[in-house]
Copies of this chain bind each other. A is one copy, B any other.
Amino acid sequence: MLGYVGRILRVDLTHATVSEESLDWDVARDFVGGAGYATRIIHDEVPGHTDPLGVANKLIFMTGPLTATSFPTTTRYEVCTKSPLTNMWLASSSAGWWARDFKLAGYDGLIVEGRADTPVYLWINDGKTEIRAASALWGLDSDQTQEAIRAELGTEVKVCCIGQAGEKLVPLACVMNDEQRAAGRGGAGAVMGSKNLKAIAVRGTGRVSVADEGSLKEVNKAFREACRHHPLVPQMTKYGTAILLEHGWATGDTPNKNWAKGEWREGCEALNGRRMAETILRPHPACQGCFVRCARWIKIDEGPFTMEGPGPEYETLAAFGTMLMNDNLEAVCWANNLCNRHGVDTISTGSAIAFAMEAYEKGVISREDAGCELTWGNVDAILEMTEQICLARGLGALLGKGVRAASEALGQGTEDYAVHVKGMEVPFHDPRAFTSMVPVYATGTRGACHMHGTALAFELGAPLPDTGSPVGDVDRFSSVGKAVLAKIAQDRASIVDSLTMCMPPAEALSYSDYARALQAVTGEEWNAERVARTGERITNLQRVYSMKCGVTGDDDRLPRRLLEGVPDGSHAGRSADVPYMLAEYYRERGWDAQGKPTEAKLRELGLLKVVGEF
């Protein structure tokens, strides 16, 4: 098959050895690449009982068959591991430039195993790999690390790395690359830190062969055209994902005050993408090869937050804005920069601070505990607590373990407002306003996740990938009929993460389009049905792996806070019938009543032998 390099790099840090192996073509056929292929490696090589921060865990970096071709939005890598935050399956993804150069250096993927005695970094230079000392880099933030490596190896070198948070094994730590792009969720940065691996520098000048360039060009054209007509993507070019805040307060999509308040218009108006575009936004190039250009670049010319650099996304604006009742856009930009440089996930970090603010308000956390007045909207306290989390200091050392661990440690009823699923903090799309997100969050294979199932987009008029048309008649508050939307959204995410494409642009395409792209690149025969089936296969293997880690259907639940109606907003008083929705979802999935994939379903997906007994 074309499109692939055909080789995987394996680095054993314990023994300081580097080896190459052939891509497993059967796995590539069934799991494509990216998160799909990496899931097979994790499933096969990392037993369920493995300690995520122990020497036996592995870290898989994978590109996809479309990466480094002319197909847009595929300059992404997936990093897959057993998560120290959720203690189960994890893949996180990041765009930018690194993935292309890594692949063109000669590899589809990289398996990192073992642990170095002292800090090291990898230098993968067009097929030659060195394990180099990184003691001089230890303690640097992600921007500084890149600068230092480029000063050594050349300005054209691309770097992914961890900041101080990953070094300190903070379970909210990310892998960072390029201009503050982050593989953000679930703590892959802490796993990297646990291996004493500071960075991976790459230089690649190879090329990827494609089966049918003409046909690929046609799909590319259709992709641009489909994006032009998508309800959201064109807005992202102008306003970034932050445009979602413009009316997110009116639908109830955007949560406020640790999910206790239904709407906060003033906040959304002060923080949204249109406001950003009208004030601090500056022109800037896109990620490699991308026509969407959703990433923001901002410049603040005066005041306490004077800075220039990458700007916040929707999720970050909600995390450090509405969730904390903070309407200071410049302060959110500053917090975003702090998180990115230290390398922590903005969603979970903002959520942990929101949780702490509520605990402070309720008297569970004192001023001495916090080291500051942890009151809603207090910018100084927000930035102080962010630094504490980034550097695992004081109360931040606890909060950086995530709200599940923090509420377990604090007790005193704090679990009532610890908003996570399976340890993963819930991203900022309220399932009380769009109930398709209830099964998405409750069953998400890496915990509550908006990337692994943007079902609410269907409720807002985006096309379904199987039919290519919007779903039509949907009551956004009803508990009935949402299972199928959740399943389609999750399985699509599985295939998109294996192609390593970007959401939401990938939402503009149908399964037939994915098939056309795959066929043009690989020369293999693909069709919509095979794409759908492949997505379902990958989702099911992720589920199986997490169950092997100890997850059961009992863990498929929403946090108590999301079962209570909010007092205000257009969704005031609404909440979903979660048991009904879960039962409907399990049926739709062909899973048993305890949420376990049945033997029949595994056989149907060709997973029976892969999975074995579990």
Contacts and interface: CB of A to CB of B under 8 A. Distances in A.
Interface in A564-612: 570
Interface in A460-480: 461, 467, 469-475
B237 A473 contact: yes
A238 B570 CA distance: 18
Contact of A230 (B234, B246, B247, B470): B470
Interface in A234-268: 234-235, 237-238, 246-247, 250-251
A228 interface: yes
Contact of A473 (B238, B246, B461, B467): B238
A367 interface: no
Contact of A247 (B228, B229, B247, B473): B247
A228 B570 contact: no
A472 B234 contact: yes
B475 A238 contact: yes
Contacts of A247: 247, 250-251, 570
B229 A470 contact: yes
A462 to B, nearest CB: 9
Contacts of A474: 234
Contacts of A229: 467, 469-472
A154 interface: no
A482 to B, nearest CB: 15
A413 interface: no
Interface residues of A, number: 26
B461 A228 contact: no
Contacts of A225: 469
Contact of A470 (B231, B237, B475): B231
A246 B472 CA distance: 17
Nearest to A269: B570
A251 B228 CA distance: 22
Nearest to A246: B570
A570 B234 CA distance: 20
A62 to B, nearest CB: 32
Which of A231, A233, A474: most chain B CB closer than 10 A?
Answer: A231
Given A247-B247, A251-B247, A461-B461, A472 B570 contact: no
B230 A472 contact: yes
B228 A473 contact: yes
A235 B461 contact: no
Nearest to A235: B473
Nearest to A469: B229
Nearest to A268: B570
Nearest to A226: B469
Nearest to A508: B472
Nearest to A461: B231
Interface in A212-230: 225, 227-230
A375 to B, nearest CB: 28
A467 B228 CA distance: 12
Contacts of A461: 231, 461
A509 to B, nearest CB: 13
A230 B470 CA distance: 7
Interface in A428-471: 461, 467, 469-471
Nearest to A462: B461
A559 B247 CA distance: 28
Nearest to A238: B475
Q: Which of A225, A237, A461, A467 gathers the greatest number of chain B CB atoms within 10 Å? A: A461
Nearest to A233: B472
A225 B473 CA distance: 11
Nearest to A225: B469
Contacts of A238: 473, 475
A277 to B, nearest CB: 10
Contacts of A251: 247
Contact of A228 (B227, B231, B234, B472): B472
Interface of A: 225, 227-231, 233-235, 237-238, 246-247, 250-251, 269, 461, 467, 469-475, 570
8 contacts: A227-B472, A229-B469, A230-B472, A231-B461, A231-B470, A233-B472, A234-B473, A461-B461
